[in-house]
Amino acid sequence: MKKTKWLAALLAAVLCVGLTACGSKESTEEPAQPAGTEAAEPEETRTEETEPEAQEPAEAEEPAEEKGRLMMATTTSTEDTGLLDYLKPLFLKDTGWDLEWTAVGTGEALKLGENGDVDVVLVHAKASEEEFIANGFGVERFPVMYNDFVVVGPAEPIAKTDDIESVFKQIIEEQLPFVSRGDDSGTDKKEKKIWDNLGLDTSTDPNYVESGQGMGATITMADEQKAYCLTDRGTWLKQKKDADLNIELDIVCEGSKDLLNQYGVIAVNPEKYPELNNEGANDFIEWICSDEVQKLIAEYGVEEYGQALFTPNAGTDN
Amino acid sequence: MKITDLHKKIGRFELNVESLSVEPGKIHGIVGSNGCGKTVFLKLVMGILNPDRGYIDYEGILPQEITMMTQRPYLMRTSVYKNLIYPLKIRGIRPDEEKMDELLDRAGLLEQKKQYARSLSSGEKQKLSFLRAMVFEPKVIIMDETLSNLDAESEELFKELISMRQKKDPATWLIVNHQWDHVNRLFEAVHYMEKGRFVKNEIAEG
Amino acid sequence: MIDWMINVFSDKAVLSAIRVTFMLAFGSTLLSSVFGIAAGLLLERFSFPGKRIVIRINRTLMGVPPVVVGLLVYLLLMRRGPLGSLELLFTIPGMLIAQTLIITPIISGMVYSYACRFVPAIRVFAITMGAGKWQTVKLIFAELRKELYFCMVTGFGRSISEVGAVMLVGGNIKGSTRTMTTTISLLKSQGIFTEGVGLGILLLVMAFILQCLCDFFQREEVQDENY
């Protein structure tokens, strides 16, 4: 009897400790939430997420009737930067669709579309996207926004510049450590394309490694190894700000025209997969390309990082 | 072997041997009802249990010259033959295979020599463990219920081997046996136990 | 089908992943067996204050998610961690440390429970035979041989199937610390399933072989009990 009581007490104690630990963690993580959700309209976000049907007191406009789930495949950068968390409740309110997504590399995102596992894709590898449509899996590509890439790394020996060619040349010539994602993601494709365009062969640098992981993990690895890497600005800013350990790398190259990264949104072809939510996909495309949302994207991140993470450019031909 | 003020407490059970003298070279029977402490006493003598207090004077007999056959014999996971010669092996003695075969043959185990020991029947297992205890000629041999539940033939074999040993080089035997009627002819001394104490010692004539 | 398998397994990166996986599995199983078997047997042999807590912790660690161990080892080995100067992060020795930490409790826990079941009888037997201290130890190893193999095979199986810790600590670097499991997870993230399936089949075959070994050791045990 005594033993069981003692055990129960111990169990209870462990649970309490566990709960408080979780609780405090949540509360410490709260301020680290993406800027948009917290800063822009915190009240709205919360009510929308917990009680989607609740009336929105701050706005006069009635939220749209709930219609169901819209499944999207997208790249890790849109999730890592918190952009999607920022847009999701707004999209639900405006159109009634509950947006859910899986954040993977561009390669896999398109594969998910090809297999009819998602309704819409939001990715950034123009050539692959066009191929995706040419193969009949997607309907039409709409440019949404772009962000830019930066090369980060130790301040020595590469001095900060806007000339990507000189930076990459120096890395190869001096066999500097470089961490590539090597996961066939949009960023990875972009990086490979730059090396190709410059006619540089990465296999001649024994310190060029492929992490096979996401952008955040790759930046962390580069930081550990004091290596260089190519990253999108959004993930870089977020990582630099949120990581527990101060990242000791700096931007060594930015502003080159080669470093722009165009996002496109494509509805998966309903002729291939009639059971898909094509209506929701079209609503999403129309919504994200609307002037109002484009403006929201342009504002996203300014408050938290001091600069916008994405530049909207819907309606252009990028 | 002299035992003085030997004391051991296990749970509620208490063993208390004020004084017991075990004459060497004789066959001693220990008799008592279930739970009177026979096995505890034997384990103390064997050194499997340590006494809470008290002292056993082995009178020059080394621990490795004592053996005990437990109620359920432990057979190693190997062949019958390797089980038999294990005590010789750890003593660095080269077994005389002919002699061993002879021994096995006597016990009717020669055919099973290479067989996996644990696949023997329970009677065969008892016989093997008996042979194994005899093979290195220990000076004190303790048998805890080893002679119970044997068929008549095996019992005869055991008796024969015991008397053979006693003629050649008498060992001290401590035997606990439930059906002690069958073997009591062998006993040269009988010690009666009750509730953890020795109450009576009978020394047989001649 | 065969052509396809040959094609998959002639890829240099895939071969390197297979090599790394096996190196890790053999290395960590060996290290964990040394530590785990010693710990399990010593734990059975000696009593000390707090032993029950140690056993409980051991049992807990047997089920600890590998990523947790991976994170711990990562924090230890990272450049600004306590062991950062050893420069073991993203190296095979670093992964070896992580896997050894994962597998050792599994082996020691299993060895401990087998020891509790079998060793007391062996020890009594050794006393009755007049065996010395080292002879007793030798006897225990000989008698528990099958159980110990079984524990080691289990540890090996854990090692080849582990993803979380090797991903974190190894960093999944191509041609260097990439293992079969992390290759599969990477290939999946690229939307390439065929090579992943190839590696998956190889892992399945290996799991099957391990299972056969386990069955073999366990069948012997069942036979023993049968008296």
User: In whole angstroms, how far apart are CA A198 and each of A166, A170, A180, C193?
Assistant: 10, 12, 16, 31
Q: Is B87 in CB contact (< 8 Å) with chain C?
A: yes
Burial of C146 (0-12, 13-18, 19+ CB in 10 A): middle
Query: Residue A140 falls within a domain, yes or no?
Result: yes
Q: Is the dihedral of CA A114, A115, A120, A125 positive or negative?
A: negative
Nearest neighbour of C127 by CB, restricted to B48, B87, B122 = B48
Question: Which B residues, 119 through 138, put their C-beta within 8 Å of a C-beta on chain C?
Answer: 119, 122, 125, 133, 136, 138
B193 has a pLDDT exceeding 50:
yes
Per-domain boundaries in chain C? 2-225
Contact predicate B196/B14, CB 8 Å: yes
pLDDT confidence tier of residue B42, bands split at 50, 70 and 90: very high
- E-assigned strand segments in B164-205: 172-176, 189-194, 197-203
Nearest neighbour of C130 by CB, restricted to B63, B74, B125 = B63
Q: What pLDDT, on the 0 to 100 scale, is given for residue A48?
A: 39
Which residue in this structure is represented by tokens 């948009």?
A: A36
CATH code for the domain in which residue A94 is found: 3.40.190.10
A57 has a pLDDT exceeding 90:
no
Q: What pLDDT, on the 0 to 100 scale, is given for residue B182?
A: 59
Closest CA relative to residue C110, chosen from C163, C73, C63:
C63
Query: Residue A9 falls within a domain, yes or no?
Result: no
pLDDT confidence tier of residue C224, bands split at 50, 70 and 90: low
Q: Residue C124: its chain B contacts at CB < 8 A? A: 48, 70, 74
Q: Do C130 and B67 touch (CB under 8 A)?
A: yes
- Mean pLDDT value of segment C35-46: 96
Q: Specify whether A306 is located in the same domain as A179.
A: no
Q: Is C225 in CB contact (< 8 Å) with chain B?
A: no
Q: Which helix (H) or strand (E) holds C159?
A: helix C145-161
Which residue in this structure is represented by tokens 């001693």?
A: B28
Q: Residue B65: its chain C contacts at CB < 8 A? A: 130
Contact predicate A147/A237, CB 8 Å: no
Question: Class of C2-225 per CATH?
Answer: mainly alpha
Spatial strand order of the sheet with B197-203 comes to: B66-69, B140-144, B172-176, B27-31, B189-194, B197-203
B21 vs B205: CA distance, rounded Å? 17
Q: Do B47 and C146 touch (CB under 8 A)?
A: no
> Which tokens belong to A192?
């490979």
For A168, the domain range is 148-259
B184 has a pLDDT exceeding 80:
no
Q: What pLDDT, on the 0 to 100 scale, is given for residue C3?
A: 81
Q: Residue C171: its chain A contacts at CB < 8 A? A: 211, 213, 217, 221
Architecture of domain B2-203: 3-Layer(aba) Sandwich (3.40)
Give pLDDT tens digits for B109-151.
999 999 999 999 888 998 999 999 999 999 999 998 887 777 8
Query: Residue A131 falls within a domain, yes or no?
Result: yes
Q: Residue B118: its chain C contacts at CB < 8 A? A: 223-224, 227
pLDDT confidence tier of residue A45, bands split at 50, 70 and 90: very low
Q: Specify whether A179 is located in the same domain as A283.
A: no
pLDDT confidence tier of residue A295, bands split at 50, 70 and 90: very high
Q: Residue A217: its chain C contacts at CB < 8 A? A: 171
pLDDT confidence tier of residue C154, bands split at 50, 70 and 90: very high
> Structurally, how many domains does chain A consist of?
2
Contact predicate B70/C128, CB 8 Å: yes
Mean pLDDT of chain C: 90
Contact predicate A211/A240, CB 8 Å: no
Omega into A157 within 30° of 0, i.e. cis?
Answer: yes
Share of residues in chain A with pLDDT > 70 (%) = 81
Give pLDDT tens digits for A148-186.
899 999 998 888 998 999 999 999 999 999 999 998 888
Nearest neighbour of C128 by CB, restricted to B46, B77, B78 = B46
pLDDT confidence tier of residue C143, bands split at 50, 70 and 90: very high
A49 has a pLDDT exceeding 80:
no
Give pLDDT tens digits for C162-173.
999 999 999 898
Query: Residue A30 falls within a domain, yes or no?
Result: no
Q: Is C85 in CB contact (< 8 Å) with chain A?
A: no
Beta-bridged to residue A265, according to DSSP, are: A122, A142
C138 has a pLDDT exceeding 90:
yes
Greatest mean pLDDT among A284-288, A301-305, C202-206 lies in A284-288
Query: Residue A1 falls within a domain, yes or no?
Result: no
pLDDT confidence tier of residue A2, bands split at 50, 70 and 90: very low
Q: Specify whether A117 is located in the same domain as A213.
A: no
pLDDT confidence tier of residue A9, bands split at 50, 70 and 90: low
Query: Residue A187 falls within a domain, yes or no?
Result: yes
Buried b (16+ CB within 10 A) or exposed e, C2-33: eeeeeebeeeeebebbbebbbebbebbbebbb
DSSP string, B86-106: HHHHHTTPPP-HHHHHHHHHH
Contact predicate C185/C166, CB 8 Å: no
Question: Which C residues, 166 through 225, put their C-beta within 8 Å of a C-beta on chain A?
Answer: 167, 171-176, 178, 182-183, 186, 188-192
Contact predicate C108/C43, CB 8 Å: yes
Angle A303-A305-A307 from CA coordinates, rounded to 5°: 80
Q: Residue C176: its chain A contacts at CB < 8 A? A: 209
Give pLDDT tens digits for A91-107.
999 999 999 998 888 88
pLDDT confidence tier of residue A50, bands split at 50, 70 and 90: very low
Q: Do A184 and C174 touch (CB under 8 A)?
A: no
**Subunits close to A (at least 3 CB pairs below 8 A):** C
A86 has a pLDDT exceeding 50:
yes
CA dihedral C184, C188, C193, C195 (to 10 degrees): -30
Q: Specify whether A109 is located in the same domain as A156.
A: no
C8 has a pLDDT exceeding 90:
no
Q: What pLDDT, on the 0 to 100 scale, is given for residue A47?
A: 39
Closest CA relative to residue B136, chosen from B165, B159, B156:
B165
pLDDT confidence tier of residue A46, bands split at 50, 70 and 90: very low
- Mean pLDDT value of segment A242-252: 88
Contact predicate A255/A150, CB 8 Å: no
